[in-house]
C-alpha cells in the first residue's frame, strides 16, 4: 500500500518580482512546475485572478520517501 505526504501550497510561497510588484502568471507557473519536478502532484487548487494578479491555495501530495 502506498504512503503519501501532503503539502499545503499557497501563492504566498511564490517569490515575487519585487517589493511593490505582485506575482504574475509566469511566476506561478514556475513555482508549480518546481513542485512537479520535486514529485508533488496538485490534488486540489483554488485559483483566483484579481486585477491581473494570481492567487491560489491548495493541497499537493507525493509518495512518501520521494
pLDDT digits (tens, 9 = 90+) for 33-66: 999 999 999 999 998 877 766 678 999 999 997 6
**pTM metric for this prediction:** 0.74
Residues 6+ apart with CB under 8 A from 43: 58, 59, 60, 61
Strand-pair partners of 59: 8, 44
Say if residue 21's pLDDT is above 60. Answer: no
Per-domain residue ranges of the chain:
4-63
Amino acid at each position: 500500500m502506498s504512503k503519501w505526504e501532503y503539502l499545503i501550497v499557497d501563492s504566498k510561497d511564490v517569490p515575487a518580482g519585487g517589493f511593490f510588484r505582485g506575482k504574475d502568471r509566469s511566476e506561478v507557473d514556475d513555482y508549480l512546475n518546481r513542485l512537479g519536478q520535486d514529485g508533488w502532484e496538485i490534488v486540489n487548487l483554488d485559483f483566483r485572478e484579481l486585477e491581473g494578479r494570481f492567487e491560489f491555495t491548495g493541497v499537493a501530495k507525493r509518495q512518501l520517501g520521494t
